[in-house]
Chain A
Amino acid sequence: MKIIERDSNDYLTIQICGRLDSGTAGELEAWTGTFIPNPAHPLVIDFAELDYISSAGLRVMFNFARELKGSGVRFAVCRCQDHVREIFEISGFDTFIPLYASPEAFVAQ
């Protein structure tokens, strides 16, 4: 798994690439632990290159989403692959983590 951060004027992007499973979820958890939420700066979580997610990855995403919500940061998961989207939906995550086709669509909201 790889985490890439990008900052544009309008929003911050973190792209999560590869596999988010029980072997790698800890890395993302460590990253979220260092993240400083800024309510003025929306966050795009880019899943375009996320090939696989298991319950270990979902657990980290859940805690991160709860933290973001609590600190008033606008955020969304963008460009989900179908397989990952299905897992999000089965888990009921799409009710509290907004999913968008693209970062542009999210920012335009």
Chain B
Amino acid sequence: MNEAEYFLERTEQSLDDFHDWLAGLGQSWGLSRTMVLEINLIIEELYTNCIKYGGGPDSGPVRVALARSSTEVQILIEDRGPPFDPLKVQPPDLIQPMEERQAGGLGLHLVRHFADSCGYARRSGKNILRLTKVIGCG
């Protein structure tokens, strides 16, 4: 089992730095480019969600922990914002015509699509999201 963690600060630059870090990690863990992009997407969406609905700068950074086994990558995202379970958010209506559709709300839809499993818990004043991605043969 390989493990790594990263603290995402609540600043604009932090996602860029994280992207570079994750690309390097993906390479040393032997993950495909698509796999890395999808993990990046899951984490970006949940991180921006923490920033949007979570606490201010006082809540500190968002912690991302990754673990790779031979069959999957586990993603853990922890923040100290107010209790919020993003997995309970109503999915957007994708079959509405463009004129009636809302521009937003897609982030969590993408997370649900690309994660093979996801779960939420509130523990010790923290929102804890656990997701997994199965490593395919592709």
Residues of A within 8 A of B (CB): 19, 21-23, 51-52, 54-56, 58-59, 62-63, 65-66, 69, 82-83, 87, 90-92, 95-96
Contacts and interface: CB of A to CB of B under 8 A. Distances in A.
A22 B98 contact: no
A54 B107 contact: yes
A87 B42 CA distance: 12
A19 B12 CA distance: 14
Contacts of B48: 22, 54-56
Interface residues of B, number: 26
Q: Which secondary structure characterizes the binding site on chain A? A: helix
B44 A63 contact: no
B71 interface: no
B110 A55 contact: yes
**Interface majority SS on B: helix, strand, loop or mixed?**
helix
A55 B15 contact: no
Given A23-B12, A92-B95, 5 more contacts: A54-B110, A58-B106, A83-B37, A91-B106, A95-B98
Contacts of A83: 34, 37-38
B101 A90 contact: no
Nearest to A60: B103
27 contacts: A19-B19, A21-B15, A23-B13, A51-B37, A54-B110, A55-B48, A55-B104, A55-B107, A56-B48, A56-B107, A58-B103, A58-B106, A59-B103, A62-B98, A62-B101, A62-B103, A63-B103, A65-B98, A66-B99, A82-B34, A83-B34, A83-B37, A83-B38, A90-B110, A91-B94, A91-B110, A92-B94
